[in-house]
Amino acid sequence: MLKQLPDYPWDQMVPFATQARQHADGIVDLSIGSPVDATPDVVQRALRSATDAHAYPQTVGTPALQRAIIAWYARRRGVDGLQPQNVLPTIGSKELVALMPFMLGLGEGDTIVHPRAAYPTYAIGAAIAGATAVASDDPAEWPESTKLIWLNSPGNPDGRVLPVEALRAAVARARELDAVIVSDECYAELGWDAPWNTEPIPSILDPRVIEGDRRNVVAIYSLSKQSNMAGYRAAFAAGCSGVLERLLTVRKHAGLMLPAPLQAAMIAALGDDQHVALQKEHYRARRETLRPALEQAGFHIDRSEAGLYLWATEGRPAWESIGRLAARGILAGPGPFYGDVYPEHVRFSLTATDERIAAAAARLHS
């Protein structure tokens, strides 16, 4: 049974956004991480060339898209051996996160575990299915009733990366519980601090983690961040063929299929690494401008070793920080939106133009 859903949290930000817009130089919106840079030409060209889409698209994805996802995992994530039955395109990753518990048949009496600092849709997915959400980062704490485990590496909002050892421990506990474990890895191309400035961020499908056994293990990825394709709603899942087969069956019945032109755009994005490297440099420059400005303004940066955000606190209630920032024309994300355990943290997104990031830094210095 669908549990009562909370109000959409970002509605609480309306008065702060209104205040920030009163700044003489306009608002600097560092709240929701929506890309501001152009979608790469290689992607736009592929979309335009595929607009003669008279037939229904395949829910499972075209063979060309399946091959592109498989090749991308081998090239960028160090994951070999995937077959077409091990990959599945989705209409963005948020709908998959929200609907996966329902699609897996979870409900009353089942527990869904998610990180302590967490993207709120993990808990929303539990509510949609009528299951119970538990926030925990310690596998030893996961209860026997656990049927689905969400990992998020790099994390939103905190940028935390789970190394191979942590991923292996989580998978081992999931196997003890006979639970499905899913790693949300949408920021995996954006590593900043050592060792992730030189080493690839590991996937849960890494052979060092699963040792050849994909049973009940799934990774999900989105092209929204690496390729500025948030408006395309282009994402995919990979891993256990049994889990993906169940998701595919539900999606076929529900008509949850990615439009054919968008599948063509995904193929182009997955096959071109150059635009990803260029976009990462844009975010690196913005991060190198914003981080020292926040620190000089009295914020302490926690974690944030990867991803699109700086997770910070100035040692006061988050809503006070949000108000103080809005008075300077800066909008950020309150830590309480990401769980009950970080009442003093604020999330700053790097998804603003160079000019707006520079404006935020100048205001923080003043």
**Angle of the 94-103 helix axis to the 121-129 helix axis, nearest 10:** 30
Q: What's the confidence (pLDDT) of residue 366? A: 80
- Exposure class string for 252-286: b at 16+ Cβ within 10 A, else e: eeeebbbbbbbbbbbbbbbebeebbeebbebbeeb
State how far the alpha carbon of 10 is from the alpha carbons of 81, 232, 331, 336, 337, in Å.
41, 22, 12, 11, 8
Q: What's the confidence (pLDDT) of residue 1? A: 62
Rounded Cα distance, 120 and 194, in Å:
28
Residues in a beta bridge with 89: 236
Give residue-wise pLDDT tens across range 305-347. 999 999 999 999 999 999 999 999 999 999 999 998 999 999 9
Q: List per-residue pLDDT tens for the chain, 366 residues long.
A: 666 677 777 788 999 999 999 999 999 999 988 999 999 999 999 999 999 999 999 999 999 999 999 999 999 999 999 999 999 999 999 999 999 999 999 999 999 999 999 989 999 999 999 999 999 999 999 999 999 999 999 999 999 999 999 999 999 999 999 999 999 999 999 999 999 999 999 999 999 999 999 999 999 999 999 999 999 999 999 999 999 999 999 999 999 999 999 999 999 999 999 999 999 999 999 999 999 999 999 999 999 999 999 999 999 999 999 999 999 999 999 999 999 899 999 999 999 999 999 999 999 988
Rounded Cα distance, 13 and 360, in Å:
18
Taking the model in full, what pTM does it have? 0.95
**Phi, psi values for residue 78, rounded to 5°:** 70, 30
Q: What's the confidence (pLDDT) of residue 299? A: 98
Domains, the chain, ordered by start:
11-38+275-365 (3.90.1150.10), 41-271 (3.40.640.10)
